[in-house]
Structure 1
Amino acid sequence: MSKNSKFHVTRRAFLAGTSGAVAFSLVSKGAFAASAKEAPQFVALVKDGKLPPLADRLPQNPMVVKPWEKIGTYGGTLRRGLRGSSDHNGILRMVGNQGLVRWNMEFTAVLPNLAEKWEVSDDAKQFTFHLLKGAKWSDGHPFTADDVVFAIEDVVKNKELYSSPPAQIQVGGKAVVVEKIDDYTVKFTFAAPNALYLENLATPLGQHPTLFAKHYCSKFLPKYNDKLADDVKAAGAANWPDLFRAKCGDIEIPSRWSNTEKPVLDPWVIKEPYSGGATRVVMVRNPYFWQVDTEGNQLPYIDELNFAISQDVESLMLNVISGKLDIQERHINVLANKPTLSQNMKKGDYRLMTLEPSSAQQCQIYLNMTHKDPAMRKIFGDKTFRQALSMGINRQEIIDIVYFGQSQPYQTGPRPGHPWHYEKLSRQFTDFAPEKANSLLDQIGLTKKNGNGIRLRQDGQPIFFAVDVIPTLNPDLVDVLELVKAHWAKIGVDMKVNTMERALYYTRGDDNAHDAQVWSGAGGLDPMLDPRDYFAFHPQGSRYAIPWTLWYTSNGAKGEEPPESQKKRMKLFDEARATADLDERGKYMKQIFDLCADSFETIGVCLAVGSFGIIRNNLRNVPEKQPDSWSWPNPGPALPQQFTFTS
């Protein structure tokens, strides 16, 4: 293989399986470490003996990244915006893409990353990863198989830290077993076939194997620290799990970005943390980052990231228009903002990027079918009630007013054009039929009304519930719900649009304390990576039945046993992800879609619309068309470490 060559395997080719093991790599075989070049700021530190020479900081064969447009130049501060105190995933999307594997730009293939190659057993139960030899944590300590084993066996499978192992590392209710073969080889063994594992590893939720440095994070586990109780007391923490979270974080919590001492494998390291009262987060170049460009220049090109924290979207918009942000799509990418951003491109000295949605649904309404109130549970659990609500929504009015006509009525399911698109699942009960909706509500006995025309429950109370929504994150969904509220009032159902901060939204969902919540519906392009709307799969995302999800992820030890249809879908999904053949996998998913359509648990409004963002004109090497997905956490897979400024 030549020094700049790449070996790509498409998702379909890999999933179709091969005879024997599969191994591939994106790592240069040239001797880059010996001739590599580094940022000017580090040259003086090396000369003064404050930093080891670059050849000692890089792996034996650093991963080579081909810049999107051109070889970059060192320097500059990239400015990006966060919204409030719970926007930690805004940092993750920019920086936290350093797993064992990663996505390609097209969101079609898994590429090597900190694992330079791997083998997969014929039955997809064993995955053997060969780590990048000589890669180092940001404090200079070697990254080895010990770190990967520690992260899974000591941390993620620790029942005091995690109530149950994350779904990504378990099959059939049994967690993966990770063992060290040698310093740079580690084997993952599942109890059953897990043909989707590489794809899951490429998503944000697959980052655990590279998240916790053993030499640092082991200090906060009782197994490794006999004096941990004293450390907990000295730190003022309530218990050791709280101290561990504060020091080492997790994939999706703010404390991941709040400890300047924690070693990481990211292109930039925390200098000014994301903590209470902070007005900005600052990250600076990691001197031990393990990637170089095709001419041997150590990445990243950009010196520093500055995440300004705004308290409202209006401030973010003003910062964009005045040229104070270099790349931004998060929070500003609602259609109502696009005319303003288009008109001010010259003033703000930026260009627009196009984001292709992977979501199925722009607004998915999740009635809590496991509600703590038996009366509400009975009503929400009635499929006829849900059908009536769906037919009581004037979707075309919503599309015309909120989305400027740029969508179409849609429930859920893979997007039109996807090989697994299923018309029944996506289009049923989307016609606006208030007469039929009223008739259905009468049929299930909700015939009595109060003086305001609101139907009464069997206990005489009016049918009223709140739908939780985060206005700072999804302002369009607030507008959608206001229209839905008016539509439902006409069929005798009273609803409150319940706006709240993101942290409270998640807390209510986690505690099963919500009536209903909204979010964009997942699974449009990645139906197997995020099937949260097809059955109760995601412990936070399947908001119509979180206790069913907990039952599934804990193999029945926690949560609440779901109905038979859900259990069938859970079993079918486990069989689908144990199947390497894509066509066979599609057959399993078709059965899941059938059961999902018949159960009709969630109510969709319209197909997810394309989005956009801005890029300052002097910021280059940025793809101007990107997937827009949590599974492809834009812009991270576009490799911001190779973004560069021009003069």
Structure 2
Amino acid sequence: MITRRTLLSLLASSAAVPFARAAETEANIAASSVPPGPPKAARVINLAALGREPGKQGGTARMLIGGQRDIRLMPINGYARLIGYDEHLNPLPDLLEKYEVEHSQVFTFHLREGHRWSDGSPFTAEDFRYVWEDMFQNKELHRGGVPAELKVDGAEPRFEILDERTVRYSWDKPNPDFLAQQAAPSPTRLMMPSAYMKQFHPKYQDADMLAKLIKKNRVDDWSSLHQFMGRTVRPENPDLPTLEPWCPRTKPPAQQFIFERNPHFHRVDENGVQLPYIEKFVLNVSSPGLIAAKAGSGESELQIANIDFADYTFLKSSEKRFPVHVNLWKRTQGSRIALMPNLNCKDEVWRKLFWDVRFRRALSLAIDRSEINKAVFYGIAKESANAVLPESRLYRPEYAQAYAAYDPETANRLLDELGLDRRNEKGLRLLSDGRVAHITIESAGEDSFESDVLELVADHLFKIGIAIHTRATQRELFRRRIRGGDTIMSVWQGLDNGVPTADMSPQELAPTSDDQVFWPNWGLNYLSGGGDGNPPDMPEAKQLLDLLKEWRRSGETSEREEIWHKMLSIFTQQVFTIGIVNAALQPVVSSSRLRNMPSRGLFCFDPYSYLGVYMPDTFWFGESA
């Protein structure tokens, strides 16, 4: 076994020259002397078994993005993960050659022999040690120490290096979320290209050289430099080695971003041809409002962002004029659009009403989802509460049907029972303080169909004596008003992951984040470890948190499935959020020359990583169909 002490002594013995010079020399040698190619123990993708055809290397794929921040789509779609999902959400080793799990407590990871970063430097246990010891344990880089998502009941894992290609993480209690975290669109980063990153760390870098690098990159200190140069979520540093299928080659700001194939990518097809097939991606920045028109006119070989179902008719008609294909994938949010009463709003009268389940149920029963589906979604979506979809193994009809029927008579009765039986001359109900029951629904104004939906919702709620009007604001202000309790109700999408498995965390169903617009203050309290916000004092919300803790302690999938169902039942019966429709369709545009692009798929950020689970590294260009 190679211990951390042994590795450190080896590093110390090689530090006779200033690291900057040594690192630069080693990097140059690696880049020039290591021939391109996959690792010896490559991951073989049998395309024929997946119903696809082996292809050939080459070609450039253009994509349109609404701003340079959207380059973050590349590592999401590239989906190189230690462990990733297949199309059926079964976890599989990807960057890892294999892994073992004992009682959901001990996780042993085995790396692929001969695997290298894109610059040719070896991918080894040292890259994990660097993150664990030189990043997580360094208070200037990680003030809170080991990330909270790696802790179980506040305890961090034990990290061990078993040999050059084997590492282990272990806890005294089960950590059922650990593998799912690694398969996520933005996983908890356990490894970094240490040979490159050490030049930005004072433990390995000469102080004078570090000062020069800080000045050159216009940052305040070495920790800012390290974070800036090592950013992986948004690939802005072309020099940062990667394990993704395509490497960034453009430093922002720019209007065009180039990504070239990774010469050391770890996947091959059944014929031994190294993936990715596509040589280059070119991302062109465009006005979001023009992207659908440009994609329809053939300016994009692969387009999923900044287009929506409202663009489908135009895009489909483009097939007659340009070499494009337009397919419809199913979106998997729990609800494509949902009303979100702010249970933490400052207005005491509204807050008291929102806390009463009868009021939330009345609002839901008052909405005619069938009319909205036909008028806005052409009858193609599925009328539903905010719940999991039939594609999930956890689906039950009662979750989708919970208070989702159109029943204004029952809605009126529930409101009368609440004491809202007084009305003004217009038929609008009066609140306990004499105000008219008038709800302002706020939105980030990012979806064109929201106004159409809310216009119909206004008609439906007027019939039960409640008036609404809408206010669109910029997203940052939208979030700030909700977190501050100034927003009474907002409109947003439902559950991010509408197709979960029992082994994925049910944290979306409990107050765990201030991004949850229906209980942001409670979510902030959880997210901050009790340091900010307030703990939930609604019994059902507390029960969901207790069940989440129970899920995190569970050691078996059967236990986790039972807990999921308890949480889904509470979440849907309590109608914390008012879903309207789900299973809406998303147009996906591709070149008619692009092969292996599925004609049907599930479209979502989590857990499918948009295109990621469908492996765009296997897409290739053939003759025009």
**Range of TM-score over shorter length:** 0.7 to 0.9
Q: For the structure 1 residues 395 and 325, does the alpha-carbon distance in structure 2 shift closer, same or farther, using more than 3 Å as the test?
A: same
- Are residues 1:592 and 2:573 paired? no
Task: Give the alignment partner of residue 131 of structure 1, picking from 86, 101, 111.
Answer: 111
* Shift of residue 504, structure 1, vs aligned partner: 5.0
* Correspondence list, 1:343-362, <5 A: 343-362=317-336
- Structure 2 match to 1:481: 454
- 1:533-553 Cα distance to aligned partner (Å, 9 max, x none): 52224553x321233233334
- Structure 1 match to 2:582: 607
Gaps of 5+ in 2: 1-27
| Letter aligned with residue 639 of structure 1 | M
Q: For the structure 1 residues 146 and 517, does the alpha-carbon distance in structure 2 shift closer, same or farther, using more than 3 Å as the test?
A: farther
- 1:562-599 Cα distance to aligned partner (Å, 9 max, x none): 23333332232333354454333322222222332443
8 Å contact from structure 1 (residues 533, 602) kept in 2? no
- Structure 2 match to 1:331: 306
- Are residues 1:433 and 2:387 paired? no
| Letter aligned with residue 403 of structure 1 | F
User: What is the aligned length?
Assistant: 586
Q: For the structure 1 residues 370 and 49, does the alpha-carbon distance in structure 2 shift closer, same or farther, using more than 3 Å as the test?
A: closer
* Correspondence list, 1:174-213, <5 A: 174-210=155-191, 212-213=192-193
- Structure 2 match to 1:109: 90
> For the residues of structure 1 that align with 2:181 and 2:61, how far apart are their CA atoms?
29
- Are residues 1:522 and 2:505 paired? no
8 Å contact from structure 2 (residues 72, 235) kept in 1? no
| Letter aligned with residue 99 of structure 2 | W
| Letter aligned with residue 267 of structure 1 | P
* Shift of residue 305, structure 1, vs aligned partner: 0.6
Q: For the structure 1 residues 526 and 453, does the alpha-carbon distance in structure 2 shift closer, same or farther, using more than 3 Å as the test?
A: same
Q: Which moved more, 1:550-559 or 1:304-313?
A: 550-559
Paired residue secondary structure (2:98): strand
- Are residues 1:535 and 2:515 paired? no
Q: For the structure 1 residues 250 and 74, does the alpha-carbon distance in structure 2 shift closer, same or farther, using more than 3 Å as the test?
A: closer
- Structure 2 match to 1:77: 60
8 Å contact from structure 2 (residues 30, 121) kept in 1? no
CA RMSD of aligned residues (A): 3.4
* Shift of residue 453, structure 1, vs aligned partner: 6.0
- Are residues 1:118 and 2:118 paired? no
- Are residues 1:399 and 2:373 paired? yes
* Shift of residue 113, structure 1, vs aligned partner: 1.2
Q: For the structure 1 residues 411 and 622, does the alpha-carbon distance in structure 2 shift closer, same or farther, using more than 3 Å as the test?
A: same
Q: Which moved more, 1:531-540 or 1:450-459?
A: 450-459
Gaps of 5+ in 1: 1-47
* Shift of residue 402, structure 1, vs aligned partner: 0.7
Q: For the structure 1 residues 156 and 326, does the alpha-carbon distance in structure 2 shift closer, same or farther, using more than 3 Å as the test?
A: farther
| Letter aligned with residue 92 of structure 1 | P
* Shift of residue 411, structure 1, vs aligned partner: 1.1
Q: For the structure 1 residues 53 and 222, does the alpha-carbon distance in structure 2 shift closer, same or farther, using more than 3 Å as the test?
A: closer
- Structure 1 match to 2:291: 316
- Structure 1 match to 2:229: 247
* Shift of residue 267, structure 1, vs aligned partner: 1.6
> For the residues of structure 1 that align with 2:43 and 2:433, how far apart are their CA atoms?
66
Q: Which moved more, 1:242-251 or 1:401-410?
A: 242-251
Task: Give the alignment partner of residue 265 of structure 2, picking from 279, 289, 305.
Answer: 289
| Letter aligned with residue 74 of structure 2 | I
Q: For the structure 1 residues 187 and 297, does the alpha-carbon distance in structure 2 shift closer, same or farther, using more than 3 Å as the test?
A: same
8 Å contact from structure 2 (residues 331, 582) kept in 1? no
> For the residues of structure 2 that align with 1:504 and 1:162, how far apart are their CA atoms?
28
Q: For the structure 1 residues 566 and 88, does the alpha-carbon distance in structure 2 shift closer, same or farther, using more than 3 Å as the test?
A: farther
> For the residues of structure 2 that align with 1:203 and 1:581, how far apart are their CA atoms?
21
> For the residues of structure 2 that align with 1:510 and 1:273, how far apart are their CA atoms?
34
- 1:288-320 Cα distance to aligned partner (Å, 9 max, x none): 33333333333322221111222224x222222
* Shift of residue 435, structure 1, vs aligned partner: 4.3
**What TM-score, normalized to structure 1?**
0.80
Task: Give the alignment partner of residue 560 of structure 1, picking from 534, 548, 568.
Answer: 534
Paired residue secondary structure (2:565): helix
* Shift of residue 633, structure 1, vs aligned partner: 0.9
* Shift of residue 525, structure 1, vs aligned partner: 1.7
**What TM-score, normalized to structure 2?**
0.83
| Letter aligned with residue 94 of structure 1 | N
| Letter aligned with residue 457 of structure 2 | V
- Structure 2 match to 1:420: 394
> For the residues of structure 2 that align with 1:479 and 1:136, how far apart are their CA atoms?
51
- Structure 2 match to 1:27: none
Paired residue secondary structure (2:260): strand
- Structure 2 match to 1:550: 524
Task: Give the alignment partner of residue 339 of structure 2, picking from 365, 371, 384.
Answer: 365
8 Å contact from structure 2 (residues 38, 263) kept in 1? no
